[in-house]
Amino acid sequence: MSFATAISDGAVVAKRNLLKITRLPDLLVFSTVQPIMFVLLFAYVFGSAIVVPGVDYTDFLMGGIFVQTVVFGATITGAGLADDIKKGIIDRFRSLPMARSAVLVGRTTSDLLNNLLVVTIMALTGLVVGWRIHTSLWEALGGFALLLLFAYAISWMMATVGLSVSSVEVVNNASFIVIFPLTFISNAFVPTTNFPTVLKVFAEWNPVSAVVQAVRELFGNTNPLSPVSESWPMQNAVLASLIWIVIFLVVFVPLAVSRFKKAAVR
């Protein structure tokens, strides 16, 4: 099986997943309305109450909400795979002479493109409510790239979950249990300075915090008046984010592929 074949098989599957998005207009509407709603809710509800010294809260918020949304969005990778297993479509794919990686590569790729759309909509909404990028174009693009890369890595984690559990509902519940604390015990919506010690340490080493901080830095949404903690990941947020992304991929790509090979109709 050549590399080129694997890529083209992956593309066939990705195209199939993307067609689904266009065939279900309501799905598309809700997946775009949700990020708009999040930005508005957080900006006006939290924004009215939370003061982060030296930074406009909307600027502070956007990094957090970007990361939270793409992480939540990654659950569709797991849910999509669990659904395909249930309907016997994974069985069909596994009986075809296609690359073993294609279903997963196709799925994570189409979800990446979906995330690109979501991030674009959020960024536009953010600009409307007063969020501004204060850095160069290249740094800003770097921020978006890091965001999508992180979402892609989380997608592989969710793929592993989706191939391991018994139904779509379980994917959603299981993901929620992991993702909720991960996004909320972090610097996404409030500074971690006043967290109790245990939560603070967790938040500082949380991959979500690293990516949030990195994105804020790349968009220029930080301020010296509001210093982040001295911990290594917070001081080296971009590097820490990249390390986390590599760790997620190294762990979950092989795990997901091996789960895929054993996936059976349940």
Partner 1 sequence: MTNAILAEGLRKHYGEVVALDGLDLSVPEGSVMCLLGPNGAGKTTTVRILTTLLEADSGTATVAGLDVKQHAAELREKIGLSGQYAAVDENLTGFENLDMVGRLYHMGRQLSRARASELLDRFDLDEAASRQVKTYSGGMRRRLDLAAALVARPEVIFLDEPTTGLDPRSRLSLWEVIEELVTEGATLLLTTHFLDEADRLADSIGVIDHGKVIALGTAEELKSKVGGERIELTVRNDADLEPAREVLSAVGVGQVTADQDARQLAVAVGSGGDALIETVRGLDTRGISPLDLALRRPTLDDVFLGLTGHVAEEVVDA
Contact pattern from residue 128 through residue 167 relative to partner 1, giving x for each residue in contact according to CB under 8 A and a dash for the rest: ----------------------------------------
Q: How far apart are CA 264 and CA 43, in angstroms?
A: 44
Residue 266 lies near partner 1 (rule: CB under 8 A): no
> What is the Cα 220 distance to its own chain's centre?
21
Least Å distance between CB 97 and partner 1?
A: 4
> What is the Cα 15 distance to its own chain's centre?
21
Please select the residue that binds partner 1; options are 62, 67, 102, 253, rule is CB under 8 A.
102
Radius of gyration over every alpha carbon of the chain, rounded to an integer in angstroms: 19
Please select the residue that binds partner 1; options are 41, 45, 96, 127, rule is CB under 8 A.
96
| H helix intervals, the chain | 3-23, 25-41, 57-73, 75-86, 89-95, 102-128, 137-164, 168-184, 197-205, 207-219, 232-235, 237-262
Residue 124 lies near partner 1 (rule: CB under 8 A): no
Least Å distance between CB 12 and partner 1?
A: 5
Q: Write out the two tokens for 12.
A: 């066939």
Nearer to partner 1, 87 or 134 (CB): 87
CB atoms within 10 A of CB 113: 14
The residue type found at 194 is N
Residue 91 lies near partner 1 (rule: CB under 8 A): yes
Contact pattern from residue 6 through residue 45 relative to partner 1, giving x for each residue in contact according to CB under 8 A and a dash for the rest: --xx--x--xx--xx--xx---------------------
Question: Which residues of the chain form contacts with partner 1 (CB under 8 A)?
Answer: 1, 5, 8-9, 12, 15-16, 19-20, 23-24, 87-89, 91-98, 102, 264-265
